Structure formats: C-alpha cells, structure tokens
Amino acid sequence: MLTASSSVARACAILALTAVIVAGPRGPSGALAEARPADPPSAQVFDEAARLVRFNFYDRNYKGRDWDAISARYRTRYLAAATPAERSSTINAMLGELDASHMIHVTPDEPAYYQLSDIFSYGLRRDIPKHFPKGIAYPGIGVFTRDVGGKTFVTGVLAGLPAAKAGIVVGDEILTVDGAPFQPVRAFDDKVGTDVSMTIRRVREGPVSVMTVRPERIEPGKAFRTAMRAGARIIEAKGKRLGYIHVWSYAGEDYQRIMVEELSTGKLKDADALIWDLRDGWGGAHPRYLDLFNVRGPDMTLIERDGDRSVASFKWRKPVALLVNGGTRSGKEVLTYGFKKYGHGPVIGARTAGALLAGRGFLLSDRSFLMVAVNDVTVDGERLEGTGVAPTVEVPFEIPYAAGRDPQLEKAIEILSQGEAPVD
C-alpha cells in the first residue's frame, strides 16, 4: 500500500503516513452539514464516506462515472441494511464502482481495521488516545484468511504468534472457535491469554482436527516485526545455505532496518543466497530499498568507543530470488518492478495485485476506517495500477488444503540451490 498526502505523492510518491479524523458530514465549504431528520443516525457514516470520495478521489472526473448518482443509489441500499457488516459491505460496493485500488471501508470486526489504523497512526496521533485508549491492538492469533466458496482458509501465518505456535499452517480450513463460527476478531474477545479450541480441516474431505490456541493482544506493527525476525531462517538445500525472510508490511523504515540487520549481522549473514518474500500483507515500500541489491556501492559500519557496531550501509552481493503473488500490492509492486527490470534475480510466483495508487486514511464518526485513493502513480513512466508485474518464473499456488506446502517457495529453493540464480 502506498500512503501519501497530496503534496508528498506528487514528489515521486514518497511515502508519508497521513490520516484525517471526520467529525461528521460536511458540505463543500467544510461546515458541518445538518443530519437528515428522517434518517437513522448510521446514515451519517455513509454520507461521510461518499463526501470524502467526492472531494479526495484522485480523478476529479471519477473515471467518467456520475459519483452523485452512484452515491445516491447506494445510499438507498445502505439505509435498508440491517447490520454493521451489511452497511460496510454497501460502502465497499459503492467504492468498487470506481474500479480503483486503495479504496476500502473496514470496521473494528476486521484485523485490517487495526492494521490500517496503525499504518496511518502518525496522521492519527492526536486522536489515537481517544479512539484506542489502550493502544492500537486487537485480540487474535496472527493469521491472514480468505473466504473461498463460503469456507475460510488460512492464507498466511505470522511466525512467532499464536497460530504458528499452535501448528496452524497455510491452507487450513477454519471451521469453529470454541464451537462458534470463526470471526477474525470477535471470536477471540475476552479470550486473550486463555486456551481456545479451534477446529480445522487440513485435507479436502478429510477429518476435522481440534487445535488449542492461546490468543494474544496483537499490536499490528509489533506483530509484523516479530514475524519478520522469527520467520527469518536458513534453509539447507543441496549443500547451499539459503536465507529466507518474509516482509509482511513495508509501511515504515523499521521493516527495511530489520531486513538489513538480519542480512548483515543476524541469522542470514552467512547465507549463500537469499529468498526475499513479498507475498501478501501490506505495501508502503520506498523504491530506495532496492539499493540493498545495488552492488556498486561500499559497505560501511560505525564502531563506538565501547566496541559496539552498527551498519550504516550494506549491500547484498550474493544471489537473490523474489517471491510475489496476487497479494503483493502497492509499494511492494514498485520493488518488484525494479527488481525485475534491473535484473537483480528471478521473480517467482504469480502476477502482483496491480494496486498502485497513493491512499489516505480517514477515521469516520463511528470509528470505522476509510481509505481513499488520492493520487495516481507511475513507475519509470509506466502505470502499474490494474496491471501489476508478471513474474519471470510463474508458479501457481492453490491455497485451499495446501497443508503447509508452498510450491512457490519450493521453486525458489530449487533455483537458488542449483547455483547462480538466472534472471530470466
């Protein structure tokens, strides 16, 4: 995900994290508009979302669509919705009419609500104590999930968090939590620090297994950093030591700092080659992160008088392969584009999301979160929105019932263990 203010995105989409608190619906002048007396209180949230798109969407012509007519049509549906989930779904359907990435409405029932609020936390810094008095966090187990055919499957497991500790793997179908239907946040309310029974199915048409998981209070940024460090490892293959690291979020300098630390002085420093995993999660990456693989530059280490050392500049001078898929989005796509174009190594997996716009976050009056695409973006003059980046080595990956098997990672291991990694 690219996050930007209007001025920052114009400067080559440098990634600034901004957000706006919305008190209520406002007219074009910015004055608070009076609520419609015939409408239920929840209607104001829809009006806020429609207005924010109207005055912030990157294309002032709304891609040739009549935004007033669209919002009026969906407002009728919104007023007929019976639940918060239905109302949020209606807002997202309205946003979908513009066929643009970085357009999403999420509620506190979704991990993305907390993850996006954390990503945009600098812009929300004055309001976080009020909206998140205990900090931005939610009860959970550290997984990404996706609904396929009415069933919920695990698409990602964060190393070092409860699901990974319990042995849950990618491809598991989640059936119940303590006998109730799975909900990614509400299922774990009031259960932090206690044992929870989850039923899962690992094999298609196979038996149901019961797993014991202990939910935690998950702070998004901290969880992504923990997963990077805990998941970084050496994979032995055909006499080669292959380093592996998964960057779940790139929305902040900390993630690149961890990457450099693990490669220069950490678990991966003695690796013969590197597998850089940018699949799924969130974007936010800056193009300069690719400098890590530009070997035409010196390494530099600072040494304190007490002998402590810190890396000021580091270059990875060994083979590297990049893993991508349809969940590789926004700033991560910029890295993928550059990695491929400038020949750093093979790009393995599936075409990236094609979601490259700059987004701005807004907290609405009911505390739900809205992201609006506020700037278009090009890379070397090329527009990746709606197109994405194709891999150089395409490897399909069917998530349901994968049982932890990862054919894309397996292909990267195969290529790198054979010696120098080919670019094409």
Q: Is the pLDDT of residue 9 over 80?
A: no
**DSSP letters along 316-374, please?**
--S-EEEEE-TT--THHHHHHHHHHHTT-S-EEES------EEEEEEE-TTS-EEEEEE
Percent of the chain with pLDDT over 90: 79
Are both 324 and 264 inside the same structural domain? yes
Are both 204 and 224 inside the same structural domain? no
Domain for residue 242, yes or no? Answer: yes
Q: What is the pLDDT of residues 74-97, one digit of tens each?
A: 999 999 999 999 999 999 999 999
Are both 410 and 281 inside the same structural domain? yes
Both tokens of 104, joined, read 């999403």
- pLDDT the model gives residue 130: 82
What is the pLDDT confidence band of residue 61, given thresholds at 50, 70 and 90?
A: very high
The total of structural domains in the chain comes to: 3
Domain for residue 85, yes or no? Answer: yes
Percent of the chain with pLDDT over 70: 88
- pLDDT the model gives residue 125: 78
- pLDDT the model gives residue 41: 55
Are both 240 and 213 inside the same structural domain? no
Are both 224 and 122 inside the same structural domain? no
Q: What is the pLDDT of residues 375-398, one digit of tens each?
A: 999 999 999 999 999 999 999 999
Instruction: Name the least confident of 3-7, 8-12, 153-157.
Output: 8-12
Question: Which own/partner pairs from 115-119 qualify as long-range (CB within 8 Å, at least 24 positions apart)?
Answer: 115/220, 115/249, 115/282, 116/361, 116/369, 116/371, 117/361, 117/363, 117/369, 118/219, 118/220, 118/221, 119/1, 119/3, 119/17, 119/220, 119/221, 119/249, 119/251, 119/252, 119/282, 119/284, 119/361
Are both 239 and 344 inside the same structural domain? yes
Residues 244, 141 contacting (CB under 8 angstroms): no
Are both 234 and 344 inside the same structural domain? yes
Q: What is the pLDDT of residues 206-238, one digit of tens each?
A: 999 999 999 999 999 999 999 999 999 999 999
Q: Is the pLDDT of residue 106 over 90?
A: yes
Give the mean pLDDT of the chain: 89
What is the pLDDT confidence band of residue 37, given thresholds at 50, 70 and 90?
A: very low
Domain end position, chosen among 131, 160, 192 = 131
Domain end position, chosen among 218, 244, 275 = 218
Q: Which residue has the higher pLDDT, 407 or 13?
A: 407
Q: Which residue has the higher pLDDT, 218 or 25?
A: 218
Domain end position, chosen among 218, 236, 259 = 218
Domain for residue 369, yes or no? Answer: no
Rounded CA gap, 241 and 246, in Å? 17
What is the pLDDT confidence band of residue 259, given thresholds at 50, 70 and 90?
A: very high
Domain for residue 361, yes or no? Answer: no
- pLDDT the model gives residue 34: 36
What is the extent of the structural domain holding 273?
220-356+378-397+404-417
Are both 195 and 308 inside the same structural domain? no
Are both 117 and 147 inside the same structural domain? no
What is the pLDDT confidence band of residue 242, given thresholds at 50, 70 and 90?
A: very high
Q: What is the pLDDT of residues 290-314, one digit of tens each?
A: 999 988 877 777 888 887 777 767 8
Are both 328 and 228 inside the same structural domain? yes
Residue at 156: amino acid letter: G
Average pLDDT over residues 140-153: 97
Domain for residue 386, yes or no? Answer: yes
Domain at 348, CATH number: 3.90.226.10
With 0.85 as the threshold, say if the pTM is over it.
yes
What is the pLDDT confidence band of residue 12, given thresholds at 50, 70 and 90?
A: very low
